Amino acid sequence: MTKKSGGGGRVQGPGGGQRQLHTRVKTARRRTASSARWLQRQLNDPYVAAAKREGMRSRAAYKLTEIDDKHGILKPGQVVIDLGAAPGGWSQIAAERVKSVDGVGYGRGQVVAIDYLGVDALPGVEILQMDFTDDDAEARLKELIRGGKADVVLSDMAAPTVGHTRTDHLRIMGLAELAADFAIEVLNEGGVFLCKVFQGGAERELLDVLKKSFKTVKHVKPPASRADSAELYVLATGFRGGASDEEYSG
């Protein structure tokens, strides 16, 4: 799928020509059927196996890898903000690709990650442990980033689910809208915003806002995003701060 090379920070995806063995999980007395299904899916997920094999923080690292391989949103020297970063998979990929670990001079990027959950230290990543929805979170982030502006804002945030589909969808869309407002405020011209959403019919307001401020807005679903999941990503590129003639492809 994708390969890892010293210069490009590219990460090899699952498979690698190795036979994938299917593991079955028995439903233990204390394990519910749903938890058994989740465990079986994890054990047989090639991205989970690849993440363990290649030292990635999570299988989500491959989602960003695949999106960036296709759309080229991460470049050496960029300033990146990762919202909802735990456990750090996206920050890990971003640090490699913008060269916040080994870059020099203007080619050295910066990655700032925020999450209310703890994130273990990552080379080339500055970690802020706090809730992005806190009143002073945005100001804290601006203080940390170089010049107070960013080139890329990433958001893989998801609100805790309550089990009611409509409510869960509205909650994650609320986070997406907060992330979009922040991106529009903090991005440099030409900047990129990538955000997780879920299919469910409540995205129009978010898309309308983004189309006014970015040249191109589109939905993307990388192969690492499970096919049976309602998860999608909105990719907005070419930030221009409110121009009116936009291009949209859904």
Domain contains 211: yes
Q: What is the CATH number of the domain that holds 196?
A: 3.40.50.150
Q: What is the pLDDT of residues 4-60, one digit of tens each?
A: 333 344 444 554 444 344 444 444 455 565 554 444 454 445 555 555 655 565 778
What is the C-alpha to C-alpha distance for residues 151 and 169, in angstroms, rounded to an integer? Answer: 28
Domain contains 227: yes
Q: What is the average pLDDT value for the chain, to the nearest integer?
A: 79
What is the C-alpha to C-alpha distance for residues 234 and 204, in angstroms, rounded to an integer? Answer: 12
Beta strand spans in 165-249 (E): 187-198, 214-220, 231-239, 247-249
What's the number of domains the chain is made of? 1
Enclosing domain of residue 165 = 57-249
What is the C-alpha to C-alpha distance for residues 66 and 224, in angstroms, rounded to an integer? Answer: 8
Q: Is 142 a catalytic residue?
A: no
Pairing of strands 79-83, 110-115: parallel
The Cα angle at residue 60 between residues 220 and 79, in degrees rounded to 5: 80
Mean predicted confidence (pLDDT) in 151-169: 79
Residue 156 confidence (pLDDT): 92
Domain contains 12: no
Domain contains 199: yes
Percentage of residues in the chain having pLDDT higher than 70: 69
pLDDT band at 162 (very low <50, low <70, confident <90, very high): low
Residue 172 confidence (pLDDT): 85
Q: What is the pLDDT of residues 66-100, one digit of tens each?
A: 999 999 999 999 999 999 999 999 999 999 999 99
Mean predicted confidence (pLDDT) in 136-164: 89
Assess contact for 15 and 48: CB atoms under 8 A. Answer: no
Domain contains 90: yes
Residue 99 confidence (pLDDT): 96
Higher pLDDT, 43 or 180: 180
Q: What is the pLDDT of residues 198-238, one digit of tens each?
A: 876 667 889 999 999 999 999 999 988 867 777 899 999 99
Mean predicted confidence (pLDDT) in 109-124: 94
Percentage of residues in the chain having pLDDT higher than 90: 53
* Active-site pick, 196, 211, 212, 215: 196
Higher pLDDT, 30 or 155: 155
**3-state SS class at 132:** coil
Domain contains 21: no
Burial class (CB in 10 A: 0-12, 13-18, 19+), 108: middle
Q: What is the pLDDT of residues 120-141, one digit of tens each?
A: 999 999 999 999 999 999 999 9
Mean predicted confidence (pLDDT) in 97-124: 91
Residue 26 confidence (pLDDT): 47
Residue 33 confidence (pLDDT): 56
The Cα angle at residue 125 between residues 121 and 126, in degrees rounded to 5: 85
- Pick the closest to residue 47 from 1, 113, 94 (CA basis): 1
Domain contains 38: no
Residue 12 confidence (pLDDT): 47
In what helix (H) or strand (E) does residue 155 lie, and over which residues does it extend?
Answer: strand 150-155
Its pTM stands at 0.78
Pairing of strands 214-220, 231-239: antiparallel
Domain contains 138: yes
Assess contact for 210 and 216: CB atoms under 8 A. Answer: no
What is the C-alpha to C-alpha distance for residues 37 and 196, in angstroms, rounded to an integer? Answer: 24
Residue 228 confidence (pLDDT): 73
Assess contact for 196 and 236: CB atoms under 8 A. Answer: no
